[in-house]
Structure 1
Amino acid sequence: MQTPEQRNQLDEQTCRMICPISAAMVGVCLTGIGLLRVVAAVERTATLADDLLALDAILFLVATLVSYFALRVPKRLHRLERIADAAFIASMTLLTAVCFFITYSVQT
């Protein structure tokens, strides 16, 4: 069983990991949007995937900002840590769904 100090340390480590990873994933989403826009312009088609990636980038940004503020608040707010964790998991799930959508919606 974990002591409260060990639990606080694990929560802080999670926030310290979510912040930079989520920030990097915003860049991944923006790269995907750019590539999809190029393909859409060449093929003269529209796709829902770039809209979903834009939403995903916003979710990753929320995870980044909330985890940052959870680390910066003098009295640690565990509620912010849980929100950051939930936003990060939701964002990764949406990104995976968008990957499947892109993969299986390609016309051959």
Structure 2
Amino acid sequence: MPLFSSSAELDESNCRLICPIAAAMVGVCLTGIGILQVAVSVARRSTLADDLLAIDALLFLTAMLSSYFALRLQSPQRLHRLEQLADKSFIAAMILMTGACFVITYALHF
């Protein structure tokens, strides 16, 4: 069995994984923004992290919606395009979240 396949079955399973994980990550971003707002008001220091997490939430929302609509479509071409969008936005959001974690860790300690 090949590692990579272009079948709709594989794409559908990817979308089924991305959709709930990305939706949960939107909640994680919103929770992080809320906690940061409390920390910023107590420490009276502004940080870029809440802005990064807001952008991150939008990227996760894009991943979740594109994977959701990919599951709803019958056209294989649209399925592949939406699945690729879901993959790319999910990976970009995870990278941005890692960057936001570094900002949170080091901005609040200095």
TM-score by length of 2: 0.89
How many aligned positions are there? Answer: 106
Equivalent-residue separation in structure 1 for 2:16 and 2:23 (angstroms): 12
**What is residue 65 of structure 1 aligned with on the other side?**
65
Equivalent-residue separation in structure 1 for 2:6 and 2:32 (angstroms): 39
Q: After the TM superposition, list the runs of 4 or more consecutive aligned residues in structure 1 that deviate by more than 4 angstroms.
A: none
CA RMSD of aligned residues (A): 1.6
Equivalent-residue separation in structure 1 for 2:26 and 2:32 (angstroms): 10
**What is residue 34 of structure 1 aligned with on the other side?**
34
* Candidates 79, 82, 92, aligned match of 1:80: 82
Offset at residue 6 of structure 1 (A)? 7.1
Which structure 2 segments of 5+ residues have no match? Answer: none
Equivalent-residue separation in structure 2 for 1:9 and 1:73 (angstroms): 13
Equivalent-residue separation in structure 2 for 1:65 and 1:74 (angstroms): 16
The percentage of counterpart residues that share the same residue type is 60
Offset at residue 7 of structure 1 (A)? 3.0
TM-score by length of 1: 0.90
Which structure 1 segments of 5+ residues have no match? Answer: none
Letter in 1 for 2:94: M
Offset at residue 106 of structure 1 (A)? 2.3
